Amino acid sequence: MSNPEARLSLATLVAERMAEVGIARAEFMNLTGFTTESSFGSYLAGFSKLHLWQVPLIAKTLELDERRLLLMCLEQNHDDWCMDLFRRHI
């Protein structure tokens, strides 16, 4: 199951934080594992998901709370029941 609202919320957070931190798009892509401009553009538009393996890289690069980012990433794929379980244990 895919949650488009969660994907878009996470992508919006990343884009806004990139602007706040002042990191260039190419540098961000290089540091966080996005290999092509089209894949990153697709992600920012909410068409593709952020991968779990990217969470630590993005959290460090954008100075974000890794736990929060992880939960947002998990929300892309899981329903409310699962998310409640994750929140209780993470």
In whole angstroms, give the CA distance from residue 56 to residue 47.
Answer: 21
Instruction: Specify the CATH number for 4-89; select among 1.10.12.10, 2.70.70.10, 1.10.260.40, 2.40.50.140.
Output: 1.10.260.40
1 falls in which pLDDT band (50, 70, 90)?
low
Smallest Cα–Cα separation from 70: which of 82, 86, 81?
Answer: 86
Return the half-sphere exposure (C-beta side, CA atoms, 13 A cut-off) of residue 39.
12
Q: What is the pLDDT of residue 2?
A: 82
In whole angstroms, give the CA distance from residue 30 to residue 40.
Answer: 11
Task: Give the model confidence (pLDDT) of 15-74 as tens digits.
Answer: 999 999 999 999 999 999 999 999 999 999 989 999 999 999 999 999 999 999 999 999
The pTM assigned to this predicted structure is 0.91
One-letter amino acid at 26 equals A
